[in-house]
Amino acid sequence: MVAPEREGTPEGIIQTPDPSWHRHLETASLTRELTRTRPGPLGALMKRAKLALRRFPRWHDEFAAWSYGLVPRAIAAGRQRRVHLVWATCAPFSLAPAAVAVARALDVPCALDLRDPLPEHLRYTRGADHWFYRALAGARAVTLATTSCDTPALRQVWGSRPVSPILSGMWEVDPVPARPADRFIILHAGMLYGGERDPGPLLRAVARLAAESDAFRARARIQLVGIDSAAVRRHPDYPPVADLCELIEQTPYRDVRAMMAAASTLLILMGEEWYLRDAVPAKLYDYLPFEAPILAIGGMRGVLAHLLAWSGAGAWMTAPEAIADVLRAHFQRWQADGVVRAPRHPAALAYLTQRRMAAEFAEVFNATVEHRPIACRPGPPWEGE
């Protein structure tokens, strides 16, 4: 395994310098500050400009130096071991050509796994000679964590060869019973990324419900748990519902686990950035073992919406009116029973596990090394069901 340098890294991991200061500089940039914290005409203009500029560079990956810096060390380490296959998980997407270069030097096949949605500069590139798609063409197997990565550009270089969709899964597979609570809790457990995960539709929906029902205003609370939960204070829709929001800093998982068991609605916030718009967030797999319904807000109706419907765990929506309707129904159920449950479909829970994911990767690796067809599910599990 190759990874950035970190204190306490276990033995057996090849380390290479970590240039994450690039990300810190980009986070502090004026354009990001404008688009995150200043909704309105100027912020919208800056977002459109950023989107347009991302489509032009032939090389755009802030970790390119890191990815290519590990190539000689990985080749040297591979020649000292018995290596059968090189496997790279993207992002960063510059790991794709780096992995292919290592595999060629070691004369072994390469498998590329796309765990994140493709950014605009890769979705809208002008041809198959782009560095990323040349790397894909040189791989022996390609796997996807989300079917949104299965783009026309990928098919242009991959042709009719099979692509294996391998969704992630839950670490905690035992169901966690819902715990009755004396308040109606709408819980978001995770980072807001400085405002890129947009809580606006939720805040407007809650304001509508609080205006129509004194009981809702008295008993309902939005709990935002995470290192940057206070970022919601900058949102223009926050002041009318400030008294209904509990902003909780980073909290140990055992405590968050108890919060998820007591919640009446588990919240996933999406956004308009490429990595939020049609992604399958890890938060889905954190929430699935719990009984409360999941409400995903924002982004686009894509893979996440299909997964929520297929698993019976919840729903995706964007309009504040529709969000208010769902929360009103959940609140009425909580008033009657003291708890809100959304039973998951057993077949979906059985499928969406880390154990199944590991088994599918093992099949991809074995089939690639043995030069035989990959015997994994050829499409998303919800198709045809």
What CATH number did the domain enclosing 316 receive?
A: 3.40.50.2000
Q: Please classify residue 123 by burial: count the beta carbons closer than 10 Å to its beta carbon, then call 0-12 exposed, 13-18 middle and 19+ buried.
A: middle
If phi > 0 it is left, if psi is from -120 to 50 it is alpha, else beta; for residue 262 that is: alpha
The DSSP letter of residue 353 is B
Q: Which domain holds residue 217?
A: 184-346
Q: Could you report the per-residue pLDDT of 210-228, keeping only the tens digit for each?
A: 999 999 999 999 999 988 8
The whole-number pLDDT of residue 158 equals 84
89/126 same-domain check? yes
Q: Which of 221, 210, 305 is nearest to 263 (CA)?
A: 221
Q: Give the pLDDT band of residue 35 (cuts 50, 70, 90).
A: very low
The whole-number pLDDT of residue 20 equals 43
H-helix or E-strand containing 298?
Answer: none
Cα 79 from chain centre: 35
227/337 same-domain check? yes
Of 51-65, 253-267, 348-362, the one with minimum mean pLDDT is: 51-65
233/291 same-domain check? yes
Q: How many domains does the chain have?
A: 2
The DSSP letter of residue 294 is E
Q: Is residue 45 part of a domain?
A: no
Q: Is residue 111 part of a domain?
A: yes
342/359 same-domain check? no
User: Quick one: average pLDDT of 294-306?
Assistant: 88
207/147 same-domain check? no
pTM attached to this predicted model: 0.79
Q: How many CB atoms lie within 10 A of CB 278?
A: 20
Q: Is residue 192 part of a domain?
A: yes
d(CA 371, CA 21): 41
Q: Is residue 9 part of a domain?
A: no
129/192 same-domain check? no
Q: What is the DSSP string of 24-57?
A: HHHHTSHHHHHHHH-TTHHHHHHHHHHHHHHTS-
d(CA 264, CA 323): 14
H-helix or E-strand containing 137?
Answer: helix 131-138
190/291 same-domain check? yes
199/342 same-domain check? yes
Q: Which of 110, 173, 104 is nearest to 142 (CA)?
A: 110
The residues with which 269 forms a beta bridge, in sequence order, are 297
204/137 same-domain check? no
d(CA 206, CA 47): 27
d(CA 127, CA 233): 43
If phi > 0 it is left, if psi is from -120 to 50 it is alpha, else beta; for residue 20 that is: alpha
198/268 same-domain check? yes
Place of tokens 């080749």: 75
More confident residue, 316 or 126: 316
The whole-number pLDDT of residue 60 equals 67
The residues with which 223 forms a beta bridge, in sequence order, are 187, 246
Half-sphere exposure of 342 (CA within 13 A, CB side): 24
Q: Is residue 94 part of a domain?
A: yes
Q: Is residue 32 part of a domain?
A: no
d(CA 189, CA 257): 9
Give the phi and the psi of residue 111 in degrees, each rounded to 5.
-115, 130
In three-state secondary structure terms, 166 is coil
Q: Could you report the per-residue pLDDT of 66-106, keeping only the tens digit for each?
A: 788 889 989 999 999 889 999 999 888 899 999 999 999 99
Half-sphere exposure of 383 (CA within 13 A, CB side): 7
99/188 same-domain check? no
Q: What is the DSSP string of 155-193?
A: HHHHTTS--EE----BS--S-B-----SSEEEEEES--G
d(CA 282, CA 259): 17
Q: Is residue 375 part of a domain?
A: no
67/155 same-domain check? yes
